[in-house]
Every structure is written in structure tokens, then in C-alpha cells.
């Protein structure tokens, strides 16, 4: 095999594994819907199609372990479809376990390593699936029995199935491997004879290296049905012509097949009959005169040839062409696979690393464009300014379009939790209803992947700690089934993800008592609800009275918070006793590029997310102070008291008091704060670069960017900035300095801000 062939095969194999994961999600989704609504035949059909697709593609790549195990699950699903078996907890449990087992087998295919334990679990679970149908477990036939089977096949070859297969010219171009179908056919029985038909192969100078000229005549011994044999070639339905003759077919059936393959070419017919005789088919046929449609009509009982629907007959040696799937043009078989006529004509699968590289290049283009625009402003040439502005407009459109390629609905992540809720609820003996809303909210693909584990922990926590048992809920007047909700929506340039339940809520006193025991707070210290809930995110903090398989070790919520903050996000809790708990996660739309607002503080460039900027105003009189120790305070903005923070003094930089300074009012959800800066530089397309580890100690910085001039600007994290000011002991000065006239106003503002943050 050449290097090019090996690369093509590797890419195709990777595509198969990716598609198999999608089919597993479809398989699981169909089963979960079916469990809640056993009469939903479409969900049953969806699960069956997913299993059949996995088995078929696995057979094409020679993944025999996947094929044999998936066949058992598919057989049980077929029994459900035919009403030969009723759906119950045992069947549902076995099918869901089958989904996990198939995933493990696919993992072996991906890694190229086999695990004896996986093989043993496959055999055990396959036995359970067969037992649910009342069938005995599979066993290897003894050598004598196998020999008898082979002898029978040799002596009774004329009683087996006969397959006449011709691949069309575009089969290879469309990614099909003819031999893979024959390998897969062997999973249903024994191929006793096969002859390759090469009559269509042209002379070397006329040969098209990408075209397929092959055909096969196959004798096949199997107990499989006609439909099962048809399904083997379902994936090649658009690129092949196949006729299937059942065991015991009369000579007339072969004569009709010869007419279809060879037309009126007597020499080709003779060669085909000789081929069949060499394969062990014994019969006498008349070569002259040829059978014609009129002759067939005259027969008293013309044979009926069962076969897969095929295109118009063509003489042996004529190369037939199928539709080119690459262009989406060509004839489609009625009732063919949906994926051939649907998604593949509208979607293109792209490797994630190639997309990341494209986004990096667009980022560099944005930086280079900013530099060109800056030079145009310095030159002051109107023609150059107009040209660079047009280029920047196109760059921005390209940037937005490229980033949109990375945006995916978060609903795919939400859908994974249906299985989690089902399994955990059964483990805990609770009834839980999962409600998902906002699944079409889009988020950067990298963030969707990163948020899955934190969400998993929050969902399991809600089910274990938050929701009560049926008896406890009935005793408090609630419905026996608990409600767990996942919701997502866009707000102020960010994505908000909510996990809520209608359970018992957080126990404030128990949390405080545990915090005092661990010396996290002082005895008698008064804390707001928001501050109490934040204690849950302390490492090792847990109020569970006993350790379970799900929770109780105090490991998790601190990891959840760190994971969210690593994505430049925030997490907050709110709860009411007896009514439930709401966990809210706020994330930026993307980690790659944003629209920013450029400012300067103490000679350093800072960028704020433009979506977080509410307005810019002159510095109010109550914010002006020559006291270098005064970092923060409050001011009156049209009747509303807002906190302010002097960024220069906050970062230990001497402010430039010789020029006019400004306040940038920014918002983080419902909370607003005024940031005092030295200069306003205007909007700026910001390509986010990660900060080096030596800058990790700096507070409330989300990253950096490069300006068109080549200077570095720091990206401010608004929510982190506000939180750092409060958590770092700045809260009293941020609201009002102790002993000032604004003390009463401060207490009210503290309560207001924290109340909004908890909402």
C-alpha cells in the first residue's frame, strides 16, 4: 500500500469513528425518548438505524468485534420493532449498556489495542441480549461440525445464494472499497466461491486510474434472509448494480441474469455460463436462441428474480457511472439512506486543528490591518484612509464569519445529561424530570467541550444533595418527581448557563457551622447569603453527613469554579430553603477574538470587552482625590449610587492627573461599576493572546493583545476585576471608606450589589 493510500485510509477510518460517535448519540437519544414513551416508533427506528449504520461501516473497515456485538443489539431492536419482544427495564438497561460497550469497542479500534476484559464483557453482554430474546448464548462449533458445514457447502453449492455484483465507475471516487463489502458479507455466512469479472477493464492506454471496472460473481452459504443480505450492500446502493438469486433458483433465472449482464453478446454469455459452472453451479441452458422478453411472456410460469432495485441493464463490458456524491449531482435511490441525500450535501467535515489555524491567521490579519490603518491615519491621505477602511471592513466580516464556524449549539452538550439523569436517578431511587431550554444558544466549540465536566458535576450535585426522595417531597406537599432544569441564553455579550432544581435548597446554618469548624470564618461573623454560598467553592468543603459514590468528599466545586474562571467566566449561586437552588455560569462568547474598547492607564494600554461597556463620562467630583491611598469609592450617576475603581491605583501605577481623565461605566450582568482611566482610545478589534505564567499573579486580567503599532495591551476581565476588589479586602473602600459620610449609603449599596449578584 502506498503512502497516499495509507493516508486516505487513515482519514476514512477517522471519519468512520467520528460518525460512529454521532450514531451512538442518536442511539442513546432514541432509547431515552423510547423509555419515556414506549409507543414512539420513530425513536425506536432512529435507534435501530444508528445501530445498523455503526455495524455497516464497522464491517467496511474490518472491525469484526464491533460488527458481531452490534449485530446482537440490532437483533433485539428488530424484535422490538416487530413486536416480538416488549420493552421493559431489563431490555432498556441491556440496550443502554450495549451503547457503552460499543463505545469501548470503538475505543479499541481508535487505539489499535485489544483488551481481553472488553472482549469478555462483550461476550457476557451479548449473551444477555440473546437471553432476552430466548436464544441460547453463542458458542464456537466443534471442529467436526465445522468440517461438516464446509463439506455440505462444497457438495450442495448449487443450493446456496448467488450474488451478481457490478460496481459503477464512480465507486472508487466516492470512497468505496469493493472488497470491504465482501469481507462484511462473510459475517453473515460463508463465501463458497467467488469469481472477479474483468471484462469491463479497458486497454491500458484507455484506463482511468480513478474509475472502477470490477464485478463479482459470488456463491454464498448463509441462513440470513434476503433483506439481511441486501443490507450488506446498502452503503453502496448508489454505486453498484446487484442481483441476488435465492437458493434453488431455476436455470431460467440464470438465463435472465445472463441477458441482463451480457445483452445479445453470445461470446460474453458463454463466458459467464462457463464462470458459473466453474463455481459449481450445475444446469443445462440454451445459448441459442437467446431468451427475449416475448419468450418470457410465453412461459406459463416465468421465474421471479428477487433482487435489489437496479438501474437499466447494460451489456457486460460497458462501464456504468453513478451519481458523483462529491458534487451532490446524480440519481438517488428511492428509500436510500438519508445521509446521502441530506447532510453531506449541506455540511463539510473539517478538522478542528485546521479551523484553529485559520482563526489564528485571521487574528494576525486583524493585527496587520490595524497597523496599516494606523499608518494611513498618520499619513493623512484620504485615498489611503478609504482603502484601509474598506480592507478593515472586509477583515471584520471575515473575522465574524470565521468565528461563526466555531460556534455550535450548546444543546448537544445538554443532551448528554439525559442519560446521566436517568442512571443517577435510578441509583439514588429518585424520580427526576430533566427540562432543557435554550439548547440552540451558540457557544465557541472549545468552550462547549470545556464546560461539559463542570456541568456534569453540578447536575450530579443537584440530584444528590438538592432533590429529595419521593417520600420527602410528598411530605412537604411537592410532586413526587423532582425537577432539574438546564437553560442557556445570551446576555450582554456573554452566554449564561443555568442549572436549577426545585429541591430542598442550601442549608445556610449548616454551611456556616462547617465553615466555622474549618476556620474559614470567625465565630459570630455576619455574612450575607451571597458570601455564605461562596463558601461552597472552598477546596475540600462539604456538608454531606456521609460519603457516597456520587459526592461527600469535598472535591469538585472548587474545581468547577477554577474551570469556569479559566474560561474567563464566573459562577454564582442563589438558593431558597425548600424551593431549590440556581447555579448561574456566565461565559464569554469566544476565547479567540472580541470587539474591544481601548483605554490607557499610567502609560499602559488596557482593553475592555466592548459588550461590557455601558457609557463613558467625565470623572465626577466625588471621585477626584489627591489621596494616593484612595483606590475606590462611590459616586452618584443620575440618581443611582455606583461604585468606582481607579485602575491606576488599583494596579499600583501613578495616575496621570495632569490631563483630563474619564470614567468607563461597565456592566457585569445586573451589576455596574465605574472604572477611572487616563485616556479613551476608542474601539479596537482584539485578538486574545494568553498571558505568560509570570503574569498570572496580576489581578483581573483575561489575556493580552497586540496593537497595530506593535505594542502590547492587557485585556481586563470585568467580573474578575470587580470580584478581586471585593475579595481582596477592597469592598469597604470600594463602597465607602470607614467613617465617611457615605457609610449608611454603603451598607445599602453592598446589600443591593450582592442581591443582584445572587439573583
Burial 488-517 (b: 16+ CB within 10 A, else e): beeeeebbbbbbbbbbbbbeeeebbebbee
Please give the pLDDT value at position 141.
43
pLDDT-derived band of residue 436, with 50, 70 and 90 as boundaries? very high
User: What does the chain come to in residues?
Assistant: 759
What is d(CA 64, CA 186) in angstroms, rounded to the nearest whole number?
Answer: 10
pLDDT at 484 over 90: yes
Is residue 102 within 8 Å of 73, Cβ to Cβ? yes
Please give the pLDDT value at position 159.
54
What is d(CA 713, CA 689) in angstroms, rounded to the nearest whole number?
Answer: 10
Please give the pLDDT value at position 299.
46
Is residue 55 within 8 Å of 70, Cβ to Cβ? yes
Three-state secondary structure call for residue 89:
helix
Q: In sequence order, what E strands does 184-301 have? A: 190-197, 215-221, 240-245
What is d(CA 294, CA 259) in angstroms, rounded to the nearest whole number?
Answer: 13
What is the pTM (predicted TM-score) of this model?
A: 0.61
Query: 289: cis peptide before it, omega within 30°?
Result: yes
- Neighbouring CB atoms inside 10 A of 398's CB total 14
pLDDT in tens, 355-403: 888 888 888 888 888 888 888 888 888 888 888 888 888 888 888 888 7
pLDDT at 35 over 60: yes
Please give the pLDDT value at position 717.
79
What is d(CA 105, CA 118) in angstroms, rounded to the nearest whole number?
Answer: 7
pLDDT-derived band of residue 500, with 50, 70 and 90 as boundaries? very high
pLDDT-derived band of residue 514, with 50, 70 and 90 as boundaries? confident
Output the CATH code of domain 593-758: 2.30.30.40
Of the CA atoms within 13 Å of residue 75, those in its CB half-sphere come to 17
Query: CATH number for the 408-588 domain, one of 3.30.565.10, 1.10.3720.10, 3.30.420.40, 3.50.50.60?
Result: 3.30.565.10
What is d(CA 91, CA 97) in angstroms, rounded to the nearest whole number?
Answer: 10
191-211 mean pLDDT: 85
pLDDT at 130 over 50: yes
Beta bridge partners of 584: 498, 572
pLDDT at 313 over 60: no
Please give the pLDDT value at position 550.
54
Tell me yes or no: is domain 3-132 CATH 1.20.120.160.
yes
Amino acid at each position: 500500500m502506498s503512502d497516499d493510500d495509507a493516508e486516505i485510509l487513515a482519514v476514512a477510518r477517522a471519519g468512520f469513528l467520528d460518525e460512529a460517535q454521532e450514531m451512538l448519540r442518536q442511539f442513546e437519544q432514541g432509547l431515552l425518548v423510547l423509555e419515556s414513551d414506549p409507543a414512539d416508533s420513530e425513536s425506536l427506528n432512529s435507534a435501530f438505524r444508528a445501530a445498523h449504520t455503526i455495524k455497516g461501516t464497522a464491517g467496511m473497515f474490518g472491525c469484526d468485534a464491533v460488527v458481531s456485538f452490534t449485530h446482537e443489539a440490532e437483533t433485539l431492536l428488530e424484535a422490538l420493532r416487530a413486536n416480538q419482544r416488549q420493552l421493559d427495564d431489563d431490555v432498556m438497561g441491556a440496550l443502554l449498556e450495549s451503547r457503552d460497550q460499543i463505545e469501548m469497542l470503538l475505543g479499541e479500534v481508535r487505539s489499535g489495542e485489544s483488551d481481553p476484559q472488553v472482549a469478555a464483557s462483550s461476550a457476557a453482554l451479548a449473551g444477555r441480549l440473546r437471553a432476552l430474546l430466548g436464544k441460547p448464548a453463542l458458542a464456537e462449533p466443534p471442529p467436526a461440525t465445522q468440517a461438516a458445514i464446509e463439506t455440505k457447502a462444497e457438495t450442495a453449492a448449487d443450493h446456496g445464494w448467488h450474488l451478481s455484483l457490478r460496481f459503477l465507475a464512480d465507486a472508487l471516487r466516492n470512497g468505496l472499497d469493493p472488497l470491504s463489502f465482501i469481507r462484511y458479507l462473510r459475517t453473515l455466512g460463508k463465501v463458497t466461491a467467488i469469481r472477479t469479472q474483468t471484462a469491463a477493464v479497458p486497454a491500458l492506454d484507455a484506463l482511468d486510474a480513478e474509475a472502477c471496472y470490477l464485478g463479482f460473481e459470488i456463491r454464498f452459504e448463509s441462513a440470513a434472509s434476503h433483506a439481511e443480505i441486501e443490507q450488506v450492500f446498502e452503503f453502496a446502493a448508489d454505486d453498484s448494480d446487484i442481483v441476488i438469486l435465492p437458493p434453488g433458483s431455476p436455470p431460467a433465472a440464470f438465463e435472465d441474469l445472463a441477458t441482463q449482464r451480457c445483452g445479445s453478446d453470445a461470446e460474453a454469455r458463454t463466458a459467464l455460463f462457463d464462470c458459473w459452472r466453474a463455481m459449481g453451479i450445475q444446469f443445462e441452458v440454451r445459448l441459442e436462441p437467446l431468451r427475449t422478453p416475448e419468450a418470457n411472456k410465453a412461459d406459463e410460469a416465468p421465474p421471479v428474480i428477487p433482487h435489489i432495485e437496479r438501474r437499466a441493464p447494460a451489456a457486460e463490458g460497458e462501464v456504468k457511472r453513478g451519481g458523483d456524491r462529491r458534487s451532490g449531482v446524480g440519481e438517488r435511490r428511492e428509500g436510500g439512506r438519508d445521509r446521502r441525500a441530506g447532510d453531506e450535501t449541506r455540511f463539510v467535515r473539517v478538522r478542528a486543528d485546521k479551523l484553529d489555524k485559520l482563526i489564528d491567521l485571521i487574528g494576525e490579519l486583524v493585527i496587520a490591518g490595524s497597523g496599516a490603518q494606523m499608518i494611513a491615519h498618520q499619513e493623512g491621505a484620504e485615498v489611503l484612509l478609504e482603502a484601509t477602511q474598506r480592507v478593515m471592513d472586509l477583515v471584520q466580516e471575515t473575522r465574524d464569519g470565521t468565528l461563526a464556524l466555531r460556534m455550535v449549539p450548546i444543546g448537544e452538550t445538554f443532551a448528554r445529561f439525559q442519560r446521566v439523569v436517568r442512571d443517577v436517578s435510578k441509583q439514588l431511587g429518585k424520580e427526576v424530570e430533566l427540562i432543557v431550554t435554550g439548547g440552540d444558544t451558540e457557544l465557541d466549540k472549545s468552550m462547549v467541550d470545556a464546560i461539559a465536566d463542570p456541568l456534569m458535576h453540578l447536575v450530579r450535585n443537584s440530584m444528590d444533595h438538592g432533590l429529595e426522595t419521593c417520600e420527602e417531597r410528598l411530605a412537604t406537599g411537592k410532586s413526587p418527581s423532582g425537577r432539574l432544569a438546564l437553560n442557556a441564553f445570551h446576555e450582554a455579550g456573554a452566554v449564561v448557563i443555568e442549572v436549577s432544581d426545585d429541591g430542598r435548597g442550601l442549608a445556610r446554618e449548616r454551611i456556616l457551622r462547617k465553615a466555622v469548624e474549618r476556620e474559614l470564618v470567625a465565630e459570630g461573623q455576619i455574612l450575607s447569603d451571597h458570601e455564605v454560598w461562596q463558601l461552597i467553592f472552598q477546596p475540600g468543603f462539604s456538608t454531606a453527613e456521609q460519603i457516597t459514590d456520587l459526592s461527600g468528599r469535598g472535591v469538585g466545586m472548587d474545581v468547577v469554579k477554577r474551570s469556569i474562571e479559566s474560561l474567563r467566566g464566573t459562577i454564582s449561586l442563589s438558593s431558597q430553603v425548600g424551593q431549590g437552588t440556581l447555579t448561574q455560569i456566565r461565559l464569554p462568547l469566544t476565547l479567540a477574538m472580541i470587539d474591544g474598547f481601548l483605554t490607557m492607564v499610567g502609560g499602559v494600554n488596557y482593553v475592555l470587552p466592548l459588550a461590557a461597556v455601558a457609557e463613558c463620562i467625565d470623572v465626577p467630583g466625588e471621585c477626584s482625590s489627591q489621596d494616593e491611598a484612595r483606590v475606590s469609592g462611590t459616586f452618584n450617576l443620575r440618581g443611582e449610587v455606583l461604585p468606582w475603581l481607579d485602575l491606576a491605583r488599583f494596579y499600583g501605577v501613578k495616575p496621570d492627573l495632569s490631563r483630563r481623565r474619564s470614567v468607563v461605566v461597565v456592566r457585569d450582568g445586573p451589576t455596574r461599576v465605574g472604572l477611572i482611566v487616563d485616556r479613551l482610545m476608542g474601539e479596537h478589534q482584539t485578538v486574545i493572546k494568553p498571558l505568560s505564567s509570570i503574569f498570572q499573579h496580576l489581578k483581573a486580567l483575561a489575556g493580552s493583545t497586540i496593537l497595530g503599532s506593535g505594542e502590547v495591551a492587557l485585556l481586563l476581565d470585568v467580573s474578575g476585576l470587580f470580584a478581586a476588589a471585593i475579595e481582596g479586602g477592597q469592598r469597604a473602600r470600594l463602597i465607602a471608606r470607614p467613617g465617611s459620610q457615605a457609610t449608611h449609603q454603603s451598607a445599602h449599596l453592598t446589600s443591593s450589589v450582592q442581591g443582584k449578584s445572587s439573583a
